[in-house]
Structure 1
Amino acid sequence: MNRVQPQSLFLLLLTMTSGCVDVITFLNLGQVFSAAMTGNTVLFGLAFVHTPGLSVIRYVTALCGFMLGNALAALLCSRVQRQSGWNLTLNVVLIGEFALLLTSALLMDLQSPISTSFLVLLFSAAMGMQGVVARRVGINGITTTVITSTITGMVETTIWNLQSKARVDFDEKKTVQTNSTPWSTIILWFSAIAIYGVGAALCGEIQRHSLRVAVWLPVLVVLLVILLSYVWQTAKERKQKAHRTVSA
């Protein structure tokens, strides 16, 4: 069985972060998501037709904040836009995300008299930056900020794999060889879906006892990813450099 690649582990941890942050903003900042922009778009439509309890400005702020995060991350990644896979530039983007989440956590922990919309902007911008990191890594189906497309891909590919396995050439009495997606990829997609829910459940449970503790969970997870990915990337580059030296 294939081992989980470090890049995949990093993206799964970031997906968990999205579940945490969505819970924090939905429960505490006026039923708005910071990562799930599809949900915000639906809720914006409801708010636009004056559904009680929903604010148009919050959903506009979340959407704009997410796109602002996209833009900032895109600028930072402009020199590596043609590269895929984890690189140190992505760590710089994650440091930016960490700074935004840290600021948000401090403001909420200290119960600062800051506007709700500003907090929504900070959280959403952080998730926007994270979404670009996932795109740059380029693992099919893992976006870290939305799981709808992951569910679709997982179910669709599972059905095709099962059909491929069951398809038999009755004339030659043998299985027809077809290109199928590795089951390890499907398991990775399922893991991303599950860990988003785990992040949401864990953060929700912690918040039942203390919101001031819950807001620090996504901050710590992103910090963990930054540290682990930096150690892994530098070790990888050191190994490659040593290999080139020996080859020379």
Structure 2
Amino acid sequence: MNRTVKLVLDIVMGAVIPILILNNLNEQLGQVTTYVIAGLVPVAWVFIDLLFITKRFNFITSYVGASAIVRGVLTFWFVDGIQFAFKDTAGFFLTAFIFGGSMIVGKPIMYYFLVQALGPNTPEQEKSLRELLHETKVYRSLVNGTIIVLIVNIVTGVVNFFLNLEIVVAAFGTTEFNQQVAQVNAITRIALTIPEFIGFGIAFVFIYRAMFHYLPKEDGKDQLESDFWDLLKLRETQKTAADL
């Protein structure tokens, strides 16, 4: 599927449709049923994507799937007020726990995101990539990248919490509650993804700069003009020749 189409579908299924449901189906379905359906639509979309569209089971999809399961379970925790604000921020808590925990155990999670994004196809590529990612500057960039994403997640999580606390003030099970949830979702589900994308982007820029510091250049080419795997193979060839 085209990436642009996929992004549009993610926004529509993850934000637009749930907001429309919360605003328009309260009388037809009842307030609680409307709330549950709106909460489960994004979860269902994630699993449809994983099982029938993407059809890839790896670290990233497992992370996305786990987050979806948490959101799905929490849909059935019927609360309002400060408890709802905490509930709606649970996804940020999960991300902070995973990213922060990876730092504590000395295995920055950006390492796994990067490996999945690059997608080595052979054992040789996996070995070469693993050695590159353990170079001092690269490993440091993985740590710093993980910290960047963690900080952005904490900040956006705090913003999400207080937006919910400020906007969603009605009692659960009322039309007003659902409409207020739709209002806050219109802000958080779209606007707060922007700093998250920026955070990941900055992290990957630092990591790629560190990786290319250890990669050679092909004759007559700038590094960015060369295929990454070709440069990594050339690096291994040069290392082997130097050891002889």
TM-score by length of 2: 0.31
TM-score (norm 1): 0.30
Larger helix fraction of residues: 2
Question: Which structure has the bigger radius of gyration?
Answer: 2
